[in-house]
Amino acid sequence: MISEAARDALAGWLASRKALEGASDHTIDAYARDLRAFLGFMTAHHGEAQGLGALARVTTADMRAFMAHERGAGLGARSLARRLSAVRSFYRWLSEREGFEPTAVLSARSPRFTRKLPRPLSEEAARDMLDLTAAQAPVPWIAARDAAVITLLYGCGLRISEALGLGGAALPMAEVLRITGKGGKERIVPVIAPARAAVAAYARLCPFAITPAGPLFFGARGGALGPRPVQKAMARARAQLGLPASATPHALRHSFATHLLNAGGDLRAIQELLGHASLSTTEAYTGVDTARLMEVYARAHPQGDDRDR
């Protein structure tokens, strides 16, 4: 059982994550599950409701017991690391407001795990995916719609949520888009001619009225298009092309970054196009080996011209 004060603190922290990070409802739900698991364990571990005073007294031994319990219950290293991250974030927030020392919680070490790197498609596979998606849907306007969305993902490096979040006011599509990404951060993204053409072709065929106040992309029944139909279209295409299950809409975003870098693009410019806060995130998105990254770095570094002197 969790005390009313602890429930209020949890609700306040979740609200702050949504406001400050622009976290999605899915992310907030995951945070809530992680914290409830932690608070539930501490209640059972200490045999009493966990109010704010009890939470402030959590020790290093308590944290070790919690981690051992979660691993014993079958929680994987990656999931436990995410759970600990949520707990630490909650404790930073709570300790600032309640004035206690959170070192025991913040010093808990996450388990090591091998991070799965993204798997971009080859340039040929990406082109085949675009062509087949445009040809496979039996309804012409839906085929054009899917092709337009997928071309935006690959041609502009958009997240699927960003592409589907575009409104009718984006028509006629200009050479640049102002995109609002994670955390409410805005960025300017160039729109290549094939993407503009694909969107225009869809708009001509769409049976629903595209208005400035409504969505750009519609589902078959007239509502705003969700991600599932696009995911299914790509799943059908990758099955026909013999591509792995990793060939998802998000993989097209990885492919955008990788192919730009392969073509000589600057890593920092690609970071800005993707809307990444950290350059290391952009590096993880690209399927380019270390030697290629060092080549780009040496060419772009301000002291690069002096390296042979």
Helices 227-241 and 123-136: crossing angle in degrees, nearest 10, is 110
Question: Exposed, middle or buried by CB within 10 Å (0-12, 13-18, 19+), for 276?
Answer: buried
250 is catalytic: yes
182 is catalytic: yes
DSSP state of 167: B
33 is catalytic: no
| Distance (Å, whole) CA 151 – CA 64 | 48
- Which of these is catalytic: 78, 82, 119, 250? 250
Termini Cα distance of the chain:
69
Contact 279, 267 (CB under 8 A): yes
> Quick one: which of 266, 267, 290, 294 has its CA closest to 278?
267
- Which of these is catalytic: 31, 154, 202, 285? 285
> Quick one: which of 258, 281, 293 has its CA closest to 115?
281
| Distance (Å, whole) CA 107 – CA 61 | 12
- Which of these is catalytic: 159, 196, 254, 259? 159
In DSSP terms, which residues pair with 187 in a beta bridge?
Answer: 179
159 is catalytic: yes
- Which of these is catalytic: 238, 253, 254, 259? 253
In DSSP terms, which residues pair with 50 in a beta bridge?
Answer: 2
45 is catalytic: no
- Which of these is catalytic: 82, 182, 236, 292? 182
- Which of these is catalytic: 238, 254, 259, 276? 276
| Distance (Å, whole) CA 119 – CA 157 | 15
The CA–CA distances, whole Å, from 149 to 80, 182, 256 equal 35, 19, 14
Active site residues: 159, 182, 250, 253, 276, 285
